[in-house]
Amino acid sequence: MFSITCFSNGKELDIAAADVFSEQLRQKPSSVLGLATGSTPEGLYALLSEKCARGEISFRDAETFNLDEYAGLSPDDPNSYGFYMRDKLFSHTDINPNKTHLPGKGDENGAYDAKIAAAGGIDLQLLGIGRNGHIGFNEPGTPFESTTHMAELTESTRAANSRFFASLSDVPEYAVTMGLSTIMQAKKILLLIKGQEKFRAFAAAYLDAPSPCVPASVLQLHNDVEVFISS
Ligand code: PGA
């Protein structure tokens, strides 16, 4: 079940998304949050950092699980998602670093999913969408039943992400990602779509029959998906 809200610009979308996270943390300070990386959540993370600095919200009792992480990059590599999360959010908040998790070696085949379950399951999962309809690094063709696994990135995803790297050849070819079934276990999902180049992917995910050809279409089978859209 999708609830869709359109915003006239990305800033308004960020404010509304920050309100969703703030409300989640106020209602349940020990929330388990599923987090995403990329350009889309940067404004949201800046607002959450500011709110935390002003004492309006606290991550002290929260626990986080990121969607994905490149394989083969050290956690100190500026292109790793671990670095991104510390840089954009964690180091500006009161979160306990021991309660922040990114999938890595050994987390495939159910191990990361078991850690999430042991933490009580994800209360609120943040998602972006790729131009090819991927969520996390679940590229087209990924089975809906997939749990956390090592994924081979498509050439289009590597090309899209090469803007963060010195060259396309530096972009890793593999990543460990929550699977589609892992994502679907979250109690609530907030999908952020910023930019017209993402609209076609969302239209396919929303309008066509659910199919692994469009990984985000699995969300039609979830009962609580909030979608925020801006150009
Ligand atoms: P972006 O990536 O936020 O950098 O556009 C989203 C995604 O590919 O899932």
In contact, 179 and 134? CB cutoff 8 Å: no
Mean pLDDT in the chain? 97
Residues 42 and 55: their CA atoms lie apart, in Å, by 20
What pLDDT is stored for residue 75 in this prediction? 86
Best probe residue, ligand 1, of 14, 35, 39 (max atoms within 8 Å of C-beta): 39
Bridge partners for 68 per DSSP: 177
Ligand 1 mean position, distance from CA 135 (Å): 8
Alpha-carbon distance of 21 to 188, in angstroms, equals 11
β-pair type (68-70, 174-177)? antiparallel
Q: Which of 132, 138, 149, 161 is catalytic?
A: 132
Q: Is 110 helix (H, G, I), strand (E, B) or coil?
A: coil
Q: What is the distance between the alpha carbons of residues 66 and 75, in angstroms, rounded to a whole number? A: 13
- 1 pLDDT band, cuts 50/70/90, is confident
pLDDT of residue 160: 92
What would the pLDDT profile of 134-185 be if each residue is shown by its tens digit? 999 999 999 999 999 999 999 999 999 999 999 999 999 999 999 999 999 9
Give residue ranges with CB within 6 A of ligand 1: 38-40, 128-130
Q: How confident is the model over 42-70, as a mean pLDDT?
A: 98
Q: What is the DSSP string of 17-69?
A: HHHHHHHHHHH-TT-EEEE--SSTTHHHHHHHHHHHHTTS---TT-EEEESEE
pLDDT, tens only, 171-216: 999 999 999 999 999 999 999 999 999 999 999 999 999 999 999 9
Nearest C-alpha to atom 7 of ligand 1 is from which residue? 130
Contact of 46 with 18, CB cutoff 8 Å:
no
Q: 134, 138, 149, 222: which one is catalytic?
A: 134
Residue 227 has φ and ψ, to the nearest 5°, of -120, 125
pLDDT tens-digit profile of 101-117?
999 999 998 899 999 99
